């Protein structure tokens, strides 16, 4: 009887993992790295989160000296030198966003910073499109987007007087990815590569910018882990701080990130991300172009959701993988012969009856019914114990 109970506990545990109907976006990338897919037609997704941010920007010497009484101005220059200085602020910045599917291969997304520590932050609108076949689970996908960022940063770099903010910036992005789950269902790994003609809108008047990003994610059914990286190419422009720059690009800048993603309540996707410069982790303090350490936490959920074919196929692949594990477990733990000869109940359980659809059907049948039904009080008590153990395991997993 103990072997039967162990097998059923394992069976129930795996079946419950399989039957969870999750709402996942096929356009789900990792922070800063876009997937080639777009969201489904008519779907509406919303996002929100917070991230740490170091505001590092130069301040002209005449501005610094002007903030000191004229009597002490010479002493100020002797103490701090005559060069430009950097202003440094550590902030926690909120961000919100939304995406709506305009066609099967086209969506519009908007993301904004409601407050950047001083004022209303920037807003970016992105019109993203991809190749036909987006609704299928593709091994290889490519896409592109046209982007417009409405910046609220004042132009402190250009020669002459400082201009006001709200400067519209237009740029484009290219993206490609490989979804290996289509090739090997037991290895749900997805690899992303992006290119963008803009990296940091705050430095657009100081540097010509090119950005190449990549990421590799273990994209599990309920959780995943990823590693991302960036190579950034900056070329100085003539500014009031550097009127005659070299015509060469700066040494390549790098950024490395690691993160974790999990699904809660079948609807909400939680992401935690840590990024930093792996070569110069602290030089950002003295150079504005360097990437400072950054912690980002975000959450995503649908307002309107119709499961796309791509995500349905992904769910079925995970479903089949779980069934294989159930069969392997049953093969390793066969029931004793006395139990196999017991004719008081059904001779077995059809594993193919465990599906995602049964979770949706409120009248779905009890997979334990008939297996443990018995008029004897001892067996009935055992049934209650098994159900209690199943419930405890489910709570621990969640």
Is the model more confident about 386 or about 124?
124
Give the mean model confidence (pLDDT) for residues 29-52.
Answer: 95
- Segment 83-102 mean pLDDT: 87
Q: Give strand pairing partners of 226.
A: 217, 259
In the predicted model, what is the mean pLDDT of residues 333-356?
Answer: 50
The torsion angle over the Cα atoms of residues 7, 8, 14 and 19, rounded to 10 degrees, is: 160
Task: Please state, in angstroms and rounded to a whole number, the distance separating the CA atoms of residues 31 and 53.
Answer: 15
Triad 369, 372, 377: Cα angle to 5°: 125
Q: Where are the domains of the chain?
A: 2-19+313-397, 44-306
pLDDT at 137 over 50: yes
Provide the percentage of residues in the chain whose pLDDT is more than 90.
Answer: 44
201 in helix, strand or coil? helix
What six digits make up the tokens of 200? 């940091």
User: Which one of 1.10.760.10, 2.40.160.40, 3.90.230.10, 2.40.37.10 gives the CATH number of domain 44-306?
Assistant: 2.40.160.40
Looking at the DSSP bridge assignments, the partners of residue 315 are none
- Cβ contacts of 349 within 8 Å, gap of 6 or more: 11, 367, 371
Give pLDDT tens digits for 202-228: 999 999 999 999 999 999 988 999 999
CB 191 within 8 A of CB 216: yes
Is residue 120 over pLDDT 50? yes
**Is the per-residue pLDDT at 20 higher than 60?**
no
The single-letter DSSP state of residue 33 is B
Give dist(CA 47, CA 94) in Å, integer: 11
Mean pLDDT of 75-89: 65
Across 48-62, 152-166, 251-265, 341-355, least confident range: 341-355
Give residue 118's pLDDT band: very low, low, confident or very high (50, 70, 90): confident
CB burial readout 245-265, b (16+ within 10 A) else e: eeeeeeeebbbbbebebebee
**Position 96 pLDDT exceeds 80:** yes
- What is the token pair recorded at 47? 């996002």
Distances (CA, A) of 213 to 171, 216, 257, 291: 16, 11, 11, 14
Measured CA angle at 190 (ends 189, 195), to 5 deg = 155
Question: What's the token pair of residue 138?
Answer: 């593709």
Q: Is the model's pTM score more than 0.85?
A: no
Backbone dihedral region of 278: left (phi > 0), alpha (psi from -120 to 50 degrees) or beta? alpha
Cα separation, 203 vs 215, in Å, equals 24
| DSSP letter string, 113-169 | -S--SSS---EEEEEEEE-TTTTS--SEEEEEEEEEEEE---B-SSSSSPBPS-EEE
Residues 6 or more apart from 44 whose CB is under 8 A from it?
A: 98, 99, 100, 101, 302, 303, 304
274-323: pLDDT as tens digits:
999 999 887 777 778 888 999 999 999 999 998 888 888 888 888 888 88
- Read off the pLDDT of each residue in 51-68 and give the average, rounded to a whole number: 74
- Mean per-residue pLDDT, 331-336: 69
Distance CA 36, CA 217 (A): 14
């Amino acid at each position: 009887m103990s072997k039967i109970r162990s097998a059923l506990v394992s069976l129930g545990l795996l079946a419950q993992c399989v039957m969870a109907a999750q709402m996942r976006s096929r356009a789900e990338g990792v922070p800063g790295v876009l997937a080639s897919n777009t969201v489904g037609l008519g779907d509406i997704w919303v996002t929100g989160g917070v991230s740490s941010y170091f505001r590092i920007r130069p301040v002209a010497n005449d501005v610094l000296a002007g903030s000191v009484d004229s009597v002490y101005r010479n002493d100020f220059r002797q103490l701090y030198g005559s060069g430009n200085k950097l202003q440094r602020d550590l902030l926690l910045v909120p961000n919100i966003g939304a995406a709506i599917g305009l066609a099967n291969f086209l969506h519009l997304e908007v993301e904004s910073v409601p407050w950047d520590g001083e004022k209303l932050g920037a807003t970016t609108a992105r019109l993203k499109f991809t190749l036909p076949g987006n609704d299928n689970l593709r091994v290889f996908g490519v896409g592109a987007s046209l982007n417009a960022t409405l910046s609220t940063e004042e132009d402190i770099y250009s020669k002459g007087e400082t201009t006001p903010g709200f400067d519209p910036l237009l740029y484009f992005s290219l993206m490609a990815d490989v979804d290996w789950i289509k090739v090997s269902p037991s290895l749900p790994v997805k690899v992303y590569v992006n290119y963008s003609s803009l990296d940091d809108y705050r430095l657009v008047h100081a540097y010509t910018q090119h950005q190449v990003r990549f990421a590799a994610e273990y994209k599990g059914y309920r959780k995943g882990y990823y590693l991302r990286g960036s190579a950034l190419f900056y070329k100085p422009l003539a500014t009031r701080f550097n009127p005659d720059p070299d015509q060469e690009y700066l040494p390549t800048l790098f950024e490395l990130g690691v993160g974790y993603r999990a699904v809660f309540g079948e609807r909400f996707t939680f992401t935690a991300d840590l990024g930093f410069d792996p070569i110069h982790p602290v030089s950002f303090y003295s150079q504005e172009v360097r990437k400072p350490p950054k912690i980002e936490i975000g959450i995503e959920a649908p307002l309107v959701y119709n499961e796309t074919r791509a995500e349905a196929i992904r769910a079925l692949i995970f479903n089949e993988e779980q069934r294989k594990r159930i069969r392997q477990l049953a093969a390793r733990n066969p029931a004793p012969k006395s139990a196999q000869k017991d004719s008081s109940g059904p001779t077995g359980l059809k594993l193919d009856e465990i599906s995602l659809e049964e979770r949706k059907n409120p009248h779905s049948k009890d997979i334990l019914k008939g297996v443990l039904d018995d008029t004897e009080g001892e067996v009935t008590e055992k049934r209650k114990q098994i159900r209690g153990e199943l419930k405890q395991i489910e709570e621990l997993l969640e």
